[in-house]
Amino acid sequence: MKFLKIFFLILLLPIVLILCNYWWISHVGNKMIVQENTAQLKNRYVLVLGAGKEYRMGKRPNYFFNGRVEAVVKLRQSYPNCKIIISGISDGNHYDEANDLKKELLTKGVKDTLIMLDSDSKDTYASLKMFNKKYLYEPVIIVSQKAHLCRALWMAKQMNINSVGYVAEGWPKREPTWFLIREMGARVKATLEIFF
């Protein structure tokens, strides 16, 4: 019986740590999210985190991709000269996130001269590291869906990046369970990247 209790405690501890980590990142990130037409958005770069245009399977549109495009278009209405950095992976096969986002923004009337590409960042940490290296001390608006945005903002804070977040629309109703499970894993990875 004692062995079973110890076994369950050992099993339970990682789950508790993962849930606490998820909550803490949400708590910090939510405080850094701002609304449109606020003074905190003026004179900032816009960093759009990558998303594939469509899913590998089924070829249906990616709500995250579409939401990020629409969020940038809205930001531009208030701040027409903001410089937009589009980050994302290009795997030479299915994904060309940065270029796909750029093409979509061009069709929405965003000037080519205001867009800068970062096609070498394979994840959020790499995107933030790139921004920190190239645009040191510049304030930035990070654009993504809320769960991902909280993680990006938490990481940016740990990296001393002067950032705020702008929420892009995501799934029409609510995020599916698989996405929340994936985000829990991504937050563990983010914590390890920042502290180790």
The CATH class of the 27-195 domain is alpha beta
Q: What is the mean pLDDT of residues 66-93?
A: 89
Q: Domains of the chain: which residue ranges? A: 27-195
Q: What is the mean pLDDT of residues 32-41?
A: 79
Task: Give the per-residue pLDDT at 152.
Answer: 98
What is the pLDDT of the chain when averaged over all its residues? Answer: 90
Question: CB neighbours of 87 closer than 8 A, spacing ≥ 6?
Answer: 47, 48, 49, 50, 97, 98, 118, 121, 127, 130, 131
Residues facing residue 33 across a β-bridge: 165
Spatial distance between the Cα atoms of 42 and 151, rounded to a whole number of angstroms: 23
Helix residue ranges, H only, the chain = 2-31, 63-78, 97-107, 124-134, 146-158, 177-195
pLDDT in tens, 144-168: 999 999 999 999 999 999 999 999 9
Task: Give the per-residue pLDDT at 58.
Answer: 58
